[in-house]
Amino acid sequence: MAEKAYTVKLGDVSRLLGKIAKEKYDVIVPTTQDGDVLYLPFKDGMGVVMDHGNPLTPPKEFFLPQTDELVKYKKEGKGFKAEVAKSSLDCKRVLFGIRPCDVHALMCIDLPFKDTYDDSYYLQKRANTLILAMTCNEPGDNCFCASMGCGPDLDDNYDLLFTNIGDMLYVKVGTDEGKNLIDTAPEFFDEADKKDAKARSAKIKEVENKFKRKLDTKKLGRLKDKFDDPTWQEMADRCIKCGGCNYICPSCYCFNVVDRTYGDDGVRERSWDGCMLEGFTRMAGGANPRQANVERMKQRYYHKLQYFNDRYGRHLCVGCGRCTDVCPVEINMVDYVNKIIGGA
Ligand code: SF4
Ligand code: SF4
């Protein structure tokens, strides 16, 4: 959508979000809690962090909660009555400050969640959430979104896109809903001029040159011949099987479904699961096709960098670097994959 661009003063952002919140939107923002930058529901007076790298945790949990009720059921007469749990978002919500890599991660999750079946729990939250994305000014030490084509800029899939160009944010409009949001608070926005657009382009260029890590994606096709590479065992031996890399990943979407019963009543809920955990592929009767950690390690990497691409035409890794950030034994995705494929 070719649209006018705008600017908003950095000092006005909290008041702007406060006004949006009063317009009956739930607003989620990056803010500091106990020294970490996290996405949390906006409250008046809350500090909105705009000069940080990517928040510690991705905003995936707002679309695919760690635990989500699916169905409630209770005994009625000789049978059971089931009702779909009302856990889906039924009001409009604004997610401010989401980074391009995390927008790409949501685009990844969209694919399986509207493939054979529509996952209404997830898709309703996606449909009701406006994406107010923010390009990164400072890639983290382990970021490689530029290698994956997922940053530092964003071409589409946003309602508004902000870039910090000094004492103001440059605002690109992606959808009519984004423009409507601007129209609800026009006093905060000025029309951008050519100088602002130039400052934005210069900022994006500057950030593109700041990445310390590069995954050699041109050589990823070699993975299909590297299934028996000894490096997988090296990684598996080092791994302590904590599952942190799964849980922190913005594009990991696997879940487990359990029924919890309370007397005659019950709840069916789903919770995040992770392919690095031993029980992930354990079946009824105890058989486990991925008993050894090296098999689970390969599954994770091949799903991220080959299988998902074979099925959906894009990688399931967006290069956010969080799995490397949180790994307690410093298993560095870029270093190991480059070693396996003979990359840069
Ligand atoms: S695999 Fe690692 S770098 Fe890739 S998206 Fe997941 S957490 Fe980020
Ligand atoms: S975070 Fe590191 S140690 Fe934990 S499961 Fe992942 S690779 Fe293994």
pLDDT of 125 over the 80 cut: yes
Instruction: Tell me which residue has tokens 């685009």.
Output: 107
Structural tokens at position 11: 């000092």
Nearest alpha carbon, ligand 1 atom 2: 323
Q: What integer pLDDT is reported at residue 13 of this predicted model?
A: 96
Higher pLDDT residue, 250 or 83? 250
Among the bound ligands, the one closest to the CA of 54: 1
Task: Determine whether the shortest distance from the Cβ of 318 to ligand 1 is under 6 A.
Answer: yes
> pLDDT-based confidence at 89, cuts 50/70/90?
low
**Mean pLDDT of all residues belonging to the chain:** 94
User: How far from 341 is each of 174, 227, 228, 329, CA to CA, in Å?
Assistant: 37, 11, 12, 22
pLDDT of 31 over the 80 cut: yes
Q: What integer pLDDT is reported at residue 102 of this predicted model?
A: 98
Lowest mean pLDDT among 263-267, 306-310, 333-337: 263-267
Nearest alpha carbon, ligand 2 atom 4: 242
Among the bound ligands, the one closest to the CA of 252: 1
Find the mean pLDDT for residues 143-165. Answer: 97
Task: Determine whether the shortest distance from the Cβ of 237 to ligand 2 is under 6 A.
Answer: no
Q: How far is the CA of 242 from the centre of ligand 2 (A)?
A: 5
pLDDT of 90 over the 80 cut: no
- In this predicted model, what pLDDT tens digit does every residue of 45-58 receive, in sequence order? 889 998 878 999 99
Structural tokens at position 70: 């699916």
Q: What integer pLDDT is reported at residue 88 of this predicted model?
A: 65
Cα–Cα distance for residue pair 128/26, rounded to 1 Å? 10
Task: Determine whether the shortest distance from the Cβ of 58 to ligand 1 is under 6 A.
Answer: no
Q: Please, is 85 exposed, middle or buried when counting C-beta atoms within 10 Å of its C-beta (0-12, 13-18, 19+)?
A: middle
Could you identify the atom of ligand 1 that is nearest to the CA of residue 144?
3
- Asked if residue 254 lies in contact with residue 265, where contact means CB atoms within 8 angstroms, the answer is no
> pLDDT-based confidence at 222, cuts 50/70/90?
very high
Cα–Cα distance for residue pair 13/4, rounded to 1 Å? 19
Three-class secondary structure assignment of the chain: CCCCCEEEEHHHHHHHHHHHHHCCCEEEEEEEECCEEEEEECCCCCCCCCCCCCCCCCHHHHCCCCEEEEEEEEEECCEEEEEECCCCCCCCEEEEEECHHHHHHHHHHHHHHECCCECHHHHHHHHCEEEEEECCCCCCCCCCHHHHCCCCCCCCCCCEEEEECCCEEEEEECCHHHHHHHHHCHHHCEECCHHHHHHHHHHHHHHHCCCCCCCCHHHHHHHHHCCCCCHHHHHHHHCCCCCHHHHHCCCCCCEEEEEEEECCEEEEEEEECCCCCHHHHCCCCCCCCCCCHHHHHHHHHHHHHHHHHHHHCCCCCCCCCHHHHHCCCCCCHHHHHHHHHCCC
The whole-model pTM stands at: 0.96
Q: What integer pLDDT is reported at residue 320 of this predicted model?
A: 98
Q: Please, is 305 exposed, middle or buried when counting C-beta atoms within 10 Å of its C-beta (0-12, 13-18, 19+)?
A: buried
Task: Determine whether the shortest distance from the Cβ of 132 to ligand 1 is under 6 A.
Answer: no
Task: Determine whether the shortest distance from the Cβ of 333 to ligand 2 is under 6 A.
Answer: no
- In this predicted model, what pLDDT tens digit does every residue of 247-286 receive, in sequence order? 999 999 999 999 999 888 999 999 999 999 999 999 989 9
Q: What integer pLDDT is reported at residue 328 of this predicted model?
A: 98
Pocket test for ligand 1, best of 251, 315, 336 (most atoms within 8 A of CB): 251
Q: What integer pLDDT is reported at residue 2 of this predicted model?
A: 52
Q: What integer pLDDT is reported at residue 316 of this predicted model?
A: 98
Among the bound ligands, the one closest to the CA of 101: 1
> pLDDT-based confidence at 85, cuts 50/70/90?
confident
pLDDT of 344 over the 90 cut: no
Written as one letter, the residue type at 74 is: K
Nearest alpha carbon, ligand 1 atom 1: 317
Task: Determine whether the shortest distance from the Cβ of 94 to ligand 2 is under 6 A.
Answer: no
Among the bound ligands, the one closest to the CA of 330: 2
Structural tokens at position 77: 């007469």
pLDDT of 87 over the 70 cut: no
Task: Determine whether the shortest distance from the Cβ of 244 to ligand 2 is under 6 A.
Answer: yes
Find the mean pLDDT for residues 295-303. Answer: 98
Percentage of the chain modeled with pLDDT above 90: 89
Q: Calculate the CA 135 to chain-centre distance.
A: 14
Q: What integer pLDDT is reported at residue 9 of this predicted model?
A: 97
> pLDDT-based confidence at 123, cuts 50/70/90?
very high
Task: Determine whether the shortest distance from the Cβ of 274 to ligand 1 is under 6 A.
Answer: no
- In this predicted model, what pLDDT tens digit does every residue of 1-26 receive, in sequence order? 556 899 999 999 999 999 999 988 99
